[in-house]
Amino acid sequence: MKMVMPFTLIVSFLFLICKSALPPNAEERLASYLLHADRYNKLIRPAKNSSEIVTIAIKVSLSQLISVVSTHCFHGDNITEMLKLCKNVFQNLTSTKR
């Protein structure tokens, strides 16, 4: 017999998983990897004038986070196993595919 959890409880649970899944400095590691001198050329700019400021923004919506968590974590009904899988999936963010 399965218990049906309210939608707000599910969303809160997913938020906590996403918030606690990455180490606190994962954003800095990802930015330093992407902007490393081997991969990033400062001379190539998407602007008409070289002195023009270029602003880059990366946005992630809650629906995208829920999609990622549900794709990688919900492979069964056992919540303990799901949390172990989520921890393994998100803490190993050390490289990107080229």
- Helices 7-21 and 62-73: angle between axes, nearest 10 degrees: 80
For residue 81, give Cα distances in angstroms to 1, 10, 13, 19, 57: 19, 16, 15, 18, 35
Q: pTM surpassing 0.75?
A: no
Number of Cβ atoms within 10 Å of the Cβ of 89: 15
> In this predicted model, what pLDDT tens digit does every residue of 17-70 receive, in sequence order?
665 555 556 667 777 777 777 777 777 777 777 788 878 777 767 766 666 666
Which has the higher per-residue pLDDT, 71 or 36?
36
pLDDT confidence band for 8 (50 / 70 / 90): low
Report the pLDDT value the prediction gives residue 96, as an integer from 0 to 100: 45
- Helices 7-21 and 79-91: angle between axes, nearest 10 degrees: 40
Report how far Cα 45 is from the mean position of its chain's Cα atoms.
26
